[in-house]
Amino acid sequence: MAHPVQRQAEIVELSPVGAYHRLVLRAEGIAERVLPGHFAALAVDRADGSLLLRRPFFVHRADPAEATVEVVFAEAGRGTRALARQRVGDVVDVVAPLGNAFPIPTGPASALMVAGGYGGVPLFGLAERITEQGGSVGFILGASTADRLFGVEQARAFTPDVLVTTEDGSYGIRGQITLPLTEAMRAIEARVVYASGPTGMLRAVAEVCAREGVRCFTAVEQTMACGVGVCMSCVLPVVGEDGVSRLVRSCVDGPCLDGSRVRWEDIGAVPPDLEGAAAMGGC
């Protein structure tokens, strides 16, 4: 896990990108610690405000020279709406970097990035690392509608292997992101797939990868109270190295998890073979 720090960060940019907001924060000591897949937990209210819990966001870019980190967020509820109302020059309390990072293949490898909605946010830094190592990447970017796509231009600047899907057909291929997935994996001879987006999408991608026999790493999003590993609210069932399934904390043991180890169908349940399930009598 990353070694997080807490900082009062200054907003140096806050601007719309499609349906999202791009937020650039300046604070010493964070950017140089960030790896692709790490997230930041932002306070969204005043120090005496009534919204207590931090909101987690993937770090999109980290620039150690400028001491900045960038997140991209959708307005989803009260917290993100409050964040969107902030101004350049305002101060945001940030804890980062948090979570584990994506495992990166050693040596040159072909990787497919599968991003649903703002899911591309953590994947660009990863794509850079992989190409720096002599590997190659392709992208599939999908969303419900065109304005909820993120990073299409950025992906095209990176590689010609970019497919775009929208569920309403307002941009690119009409349909779900998994529609062109198998073909795209074969076309670029992907050795590994990285997926980020809604849980249902991650599950579908992991299933295709399992069928195709390709490694798959997913960036999961579970609701988090603390983001730092102390509250146990963000758990999901994962098969351990020892073959035993446990509820693991997605904020410290994740969010980047091997898609073949996550028991997707059991998220939100406690199946009887989980470690400690038998002890759940009354409590």
Ligand X SMILES: Cc1cc2nc3c(=O)[nH]c(=O)nc-3n(C[C@H](O)[C@H](O)[C@H](O)COP(=O)(O)OP(=O)(O)OC[C@H]3O[C@@H](n4cnc5c(N)ncnc54)[C@H](O)[C@@H]3O)c2cc1C
**H or E segment and range at residue 203:** helix 199-212
Cα 221 from chain centroid (whole Å) = 7
By a kind-dependent CB cut-off of 5 to 8 A, residue 238 interacts, out of another protein, ligand X, ligand FES, none, with none
Minimum distance, C-beta of residue 223 to ligand FES, in the bound complex (Å): 8
Site string for ligand FES, 56-95 (x = CB under 6 A): ----------------------------------------
Region 7-66 residues binding ligand X, contact defined as CB under 6 A: 39, 53, 55-58
Which residues lie below 8 Å from residue 157, measured CB to CB, with a gap of 6+? none
Q: How far apart are CA 234 and CA 73, in angstroms?
A: 20
The answer to the question of residue 38 lying near ligand FES (CB under 6 A) is no
Q: Which of 76, 157, 278, 283 binds ligand X (CB under 6 A)?
A: 76
By a kind-dependent CB cut-off of 5 to 8 A, residue 255 interacts, out of ligand X, another protein, ligand FES, none, with ligand X
Q: Does residue 95 contact residue 229 with C-beta atoms inside 8 Å?
A: no
In the 8-state DSSP scheme, what is residue 269?
Answer: -
The answer to the question of residue 210 lying near ligand FES (CB under 6 A) is no
Which residues lie below 8 Å from residue 281, measured CB to CB, with a gap of 6+? none
Q: Which stretch binds another protein (CB under 8 A): 7-15, 26-34, 156-164, 268-276?
A: 268-276
Q: How far apart are CA 90 and CA 192, in angstroms?
A: 40
By a kind-dependent CB cut-off of 5 to 8 A, residue 65 interacts, out of ligand X, ligand FES, another protein, none, with none
The answer to the question of residue 246 lying near ligand FES (CB under 6 A) is no
Q: Does residue 148 contact residue 198 with C-beta atoms inside 8 Å?
A: no
Region 215-244 residues binding another protein, contact defined as CB under 8 A: 222-223, 225-236
b/e sequence 213-235, b meaning 16+ C-beta within 10 Å? ebbbbbbbbbebebbbbeeeebb
In the 8-state DSSP scheme, what is residue 76?
Answer: -
The answer to the question of residue 275 lying near another protein (CB under 8 A) is yes
| Site for ligand X, rule CB under 6 A | 39, 53, 55-58, 71-74, 76-80, 118, 121, 221-224, 255
